[in-house]
Structure 1
């Protein structure tokens, strides 16, 4: 997607995130059952890790470090991290402690016309996903914190729904692509 003025209609709901986690776990389990026969090798560890007390503490520390979008706080209250190396080229939602470390090292991502954004995920190609204060999700055009970012989703819910579609599309095709 190109840059635009799309704004998330609603803020992320924790109950919705929990439901997404259950759906994603079910779809990933199904994908992993057929992965070896489709690809000829064993899959990696594809999982959504639910938040723990340690994760909640890391989220609180991240909030103290930088003002993060409320949707990111909601997400981290439910999800600690996600690793999906076998969905397309891979998708990885970083833990709050990883995000804090990256923030200390690189700072916020600057996107024209947006509040500074916080990188929270990446893909297997090294592209980064950042959430801005508007609730919009942005994807880097290269494997860099400092290059251009294009609009990827109107919000985290749309971002997660896109991941669900990517998992589902691999289940529907014979070769997983």
Structure 2
């Protein structure tokens, strides 16, 4: 699967399904947990986020799957799914790249941080298409393989959303 590239139509369908599941999650959240949910949302790309994606591409060579994802999605905010998951907008990825650079993983092409969880762990996508997760809340510590592809990473997020229902 790592050799296959992410398809924009697949991402659009993922957004629709994740959005529907989040709607269901939010409607039952307060009853189940005793407090109101945070802002759980999949925000679709806009003209502004497309410009930010173009600027990111000009700044650094980014994995093609990340470009495909950002052409469909601007940001994903899931504070109430497990300990929280967040796909950063392309403008944030660019700012973080300027400040920290890419992630160096042994035996892997440089990786670009694009997401995090509620514990501060980072997710980075390498040119190979693999997604890596930091073992600590640090840009400079070890990263372990989290998913064989960005599609697998998104599929796992959907499973986590559905697991909260």
TM-score by length of 1: 0.92
1:167 deviates by 0.9
Contiguous gaps of at least 5 residues in structure 1: 1-6, 172-177
Find the partner of 1:14 among 8, 26, 41: 8
Structure-2 residue corresponding to 1:60: 54
5 Å-filtered alignment, 1:23-102, equals: 23-102=17-96
Asked if 1:134 is matched to 2:128, the reply is yes
Question: C-alpha distance in 2, partners of 1:167/1:97?
Answer: 25
Structure-2 residue corresponding to 1:175: none
Structure 1 runs of 4+ with >2 Å offset: none
Asked if 1:145 is matched to 2:133, the reply is no
Question: C-alpha distance in 1, partners of 2:54/2:161?
Answer: 31
Question: C-alpha distance in 2, partners of 1:61/1:170?
Answer: 36
Aligned residues: 165
1:151 deviates by 0.3
Structure 2 counterpart SS, 1:99? helix
Contiguous gaps of at least 5 residues in structure 2: none
1:9 deviates by 3.2
RMSD across aligned C-alpha pairs, in angstroms?
A: 0.7
Question: C-alpha distance in 2, partners of 1:50/1:78?
Answer: 6
Structure-1 residue corresponding to 2:103: 109
